[in-house]
Amino acid sequence: MPRPIRRLPEPRAMIVAPQPEAVEAGTEVLALGGSAVDAVLACAFTQGVVDPMMCGIGGLGSMQVFDPKSGSHIILDGLSTCPAAATPEMWEGIFERECSDGYGYVLKGAVNEVGHQAVTTPGILRVFEAAHARFGRRDWASLFGPAIRFAREGWVVRPHVSAMFTMNEAAYGRAGYAAKLSYTPDGTRLYMRDGAPKRVGDTVVNPELAATLAEIAANGAESFFTGAIAARIDTDMRANGGLLSLSDLAEFRVREHKPLEITYRGRRIAAPPPPAGGIVIAEMLRILERFDLTAMGHNSPEYIRVLAEAMKIAGLDKDTHIGDPDFVPPPLDMLLSDSYADACAARIRAGEKTSLPRVCGDAKHTTTISCVDAAGMVVSLTHTLGTPSGVIPPGTGFMLNGAMNWYDPRPGRAGSIAPRKRRFSSMSPTIVLEGNAPVVTLGAPGGAWIGVAILQVLLNVLDWGMTMQEAVQAPRFSATTNDIDISNRITRATQRAVEAMGYGVKRSPMSFPFAAPHGITMWDGKLEGGADPQRDGYVGVVA
């Protein structure tokens, strides 16, 4: 007899993120009638507790919101700024080199990466505050419940958290994570055991963070930027030679933008404009629209070559042209024009290889959330600590970002240091629309790999007809330098064929490398989610 087919109720709301505890928190809010923004905030607060080197209230990020009820479609930019005390020349004399993988800069003493001078003005709580004020349906304080509970009662170190805790990036020119976890007495107590980072199965209890979150729940984000928490941060900074000041915190403002939009094969692709990373994805798609990709075969040698060249062209243009628009106006009309896309495609067809010795971007220590609620609101959030600084202000329980590592210590460049300047960020929470109806929401952590990963997932869904789960777990590759990095699930025969074209190819030992996309499709109103397998997350459903 044929096996019975089990039919589950169709989901009416959905949330997907890399951490199971955080997905659980967001799903609970959706089930109680919260909006997608409410659910994303509950999820994000919990992420900061259970993935403390990836994100948190001391970090930064970008959120895209599509709300059919109000007709709003906006980007909320909470990317951090250089403290006002920063100057373009302050680290010029201690610059040594770029990190070998392009994620930041190596300075004598690592002052731009570890410790109080590494901290930029954190903006993510202002994003959460602004989003909730405009799109929230649940009480602000209620969104902190799961995060406070996990901080107070404890959470268990998962495999991916353990991998981050034990990561040693000395080969790239960056400090090991054990040094950051143990940088402060609070960090040592929270995250170390027997002189090493806590292991899979160990419990982390953080009552100080529970108290900090309770303070923000009761008194709002203002407590972090001008109130009791701001005073603690300021005291710690002044005592330890930090650049961040009370006025930096008080004067930080969220930027609201219209999404950067292009069309790709008749659909609208909406992503955050500079200094976020939507321009890289948009430029790649504009170039690749000139090719019949499906005729090449998925992940065939020619497919890899064409996509890799588009990746390198967009990466080089980003390095050359894109910084903080307040300081370096971006030539978006030129980069996204038909004539420029035609010229780039012609170069690729002619076999020209773009030289991209190195790309500088975010650290890989980031996380993401995508959510759709029962009313059709769609939210995509990416947030991060950048390269975590290791600084936990005494008694607060949270780590501050180390995003000064992203700024070029050499004056006169698009990404150079300047007071109140925002650095380019690869973060690109993305929404795809057919006409005015959203059909895909997608985001990814992963530094300079974010753009190339989101690109491939979009192509997998839009060109190849994959489900979101199929799309995020399909083998990926990356060209953010002159070499092409490939997943261990791309065949050796394909690798040899790409090498025969004159490319250097580096095989990752990982099955799911190059960022960690998570997303949801909404074809014909049916929600289907996908969680990248490497990050321990899953899809939460409300039926």
* Residue 100: per-residue pLDDT: 60
Nearest in space to 273 (alpha carbons), one of 64, 4, 469: 64
| Listed range (317-321, 482-486, 520-524) with the worst mean pLDDT | 317-321
CA distance 293 to 303: 7
The angle, 0 to 180 degrees and rounded to 10, between the axes of the packed helices 338-349 and 301-321 is: 130
Listed in order, the ranges of the chain carrying CATH 3.60.20.40 are: 257-362+427-537
* Cβ-count burial 375-388 (b if 16+ within 10 Å, e if not): ebbbbbbbbbbbbb
Which residue shows structure tokens 């976020």? 276
Residue 426 has pLDDT above 70, yes or no: yes
* Residue 361: per-residue pLDDT: 44
CA distance 17 to 370: 7
* Residue 1: per-residue pLDDT: 59
Query: Span 440-459, mean pLDDT?
Result: 93
In this structure, the number of other CB atoms found within 10 A of the CB of residue 9 comes to 8
Exactly one of 46, 120, 366, 382 is catalytic; name it: 366
Residue ranges of E strands in 71-112? 72-78, 95-98, 105-107
**Catalytic site residue 441?**
no
Residue 370 has pLDDT above 90, yes or no: yes
CA distance 300 to 305: 9
| Listed range (143-152, 171-180, 441-450) with the worst mean pLDDT | 171-180
CA distance 457 to 518: 9
Sheet holding 484-486, edge to edge: 477-478, 484-486, 505-507
Question: Which amino acid is present at 98?
Answer: E
What 3-state class would DSSP assign to 542?
A: strand
Q: In the numeric block, which tokens belong to residue 181? A: 């976890």
What 3-state class would DSSP assign to 380?
A: strand
Which residue shows structure tokens 């961040």? 244
* Residue 2: per-residue pLDDT: 67
Supply angle C-alpha 534, 537, 542, rounded to 5.
150
CA distance 55 to 38: 18
Pairwise pLDDT comparison (191 vs 425), residue with the higher score: 191
User: What confidence tier does 3 reach under pLDDT thresholds 50, 70, 90?
Assistant: low
HSE at residue 230, side-chain half, CA atoms within 13 A, is 21
Q: What are phi and psi of 193, to 5 degrees?
A: -145, 125
Q: Three-state SS across 478-531?
A: ECCCCCEEECCCCCHHHHHHHHHCCCCEEECCCCCCCCCCEEEECHHHCCEEEE
* Residue 362: per-residue pLDDT: 44
* Cβ-count burial 515-535 (b if 16+ within 10 Å, e if not): bbbbbbbbeeeebbbbbbebb
CA distance 20 to 155: 11
Nearest in space to 527 (alpha carbons), one of 378, 313, 400: 378
User: What confidence tier does 363 reach under pLDDT thresholds 50, 70, 90?
Assistant: very low
User: What confidence tier does 359 reach under pLDDT thresholds 50, 70, 90?
Assistant: very low
The distance in angstroms from the start CA to the end CA of the chain is: 30
In this structure, the number of other CB atoms found within 10 A of the CB of residue 411 comes to 14
pLDDT tens string 178-228: 889 999 999 999 999 999 999 999 999 999 999 999 999 999 999 999 999
How is residue 166 annotated by DSSP? T
In this structure, the number of other CB atoms found within 10 A of the CB of residue 94 comes to 14
pLDDT tens string 278-311: 999 999 999 999 999 999 999 999 999 999 999 9
Q: In the numeric block, which tokens belong to residue 447? A: 């530094």
CA distance 40 to 130: 13
Q: Which residues are bridge partners to 72 per DSSP?
A: 67
- For residue 543, the Cα-to-chain-centroid distance in whole angstroms is 28
* Residue 374: per-residue pLDDT: 97
CA distance 507 to 11: 38
CA distance 443 to 441: 7
Residue 262 has pLDDT above 50, yes or no: yes
User: What confidence tier does 6 reach under pLDDT thresholds 50, 70, 90?
Assistant: low
Would you tell me which CATH number, out of the four given (3.30.360.10, 3.40.50.150, 3.60.20.40, 3.40.50.2300), belongs to the domain 257-362+427-537? 3.60.20.40
